[in-house]
Amino acid sequence: MALSFAVPSIDLSGDVLVRRTGAFSKQRMRLQDVQRVVAVSRDAITHEETIVVFQAAGTVEFWISEFDQNFNGVMNQLKSVLPGFLGLEDFVAPEPFEPIEKVLWARTGL
C-alpha cells in the first residue's frame, strides 16, 4: 500500500507512537511517557474533527487526528496496550460544532 505524503499518517510500533506529516517530518512519543489521553472535538471551520491528545509530564503533548491515515488501526491497538483505554465509543457532541472533551485513559497512581 503506497502512502501519500500529503496526508499525515500514524503508526504504533512497539510502545512508540509515530506521526509522519511529510516526507521528512516525524513526531514520536513513547507510551510509557504518557500520563493521560484525552479526546477533543473541535470545529475545523467546515466540519468537526476529533483530535486525540497524548499528554506527558510537563507541557509535552502529542496529538493525532481522525483524518490521519491508520487512525482507527492505532485506536484499536491502544485498547490492547493501555489497560482501561475507553476508545471513542459514544464520543458525539449533543449539538453540532459544540466542543466536547473526554478522558480516554489516565495513568493510575499519580
Domain segments of the chain as ranges: 9-106
Helix (H) or strand (E) holding 73: helix 71-81
The pLDDT value given to residue 3: 52
Block residue for cell numbers 506529516: 21
Beta-ladder partners of 14: none
Q: Each residue of 73-96: pLDDT tens digit? A: 999 999 999 999 998 988 877 777
Question: Do 101 and 45 form a contact (C-beta atoms < 8 A)?
Answer: no
- φ, ψ of residue 8 to 5 degrees: the values are -60, 150
The pLDDT value given to residue 43: 74
DSSP state of 69: B
For the chain, how far is it from start to end, CA to CA, in angstroms? Answer: 41
Q: Each residue of 91-103: pLDDT tens digit? A: 877 777 788 899 9
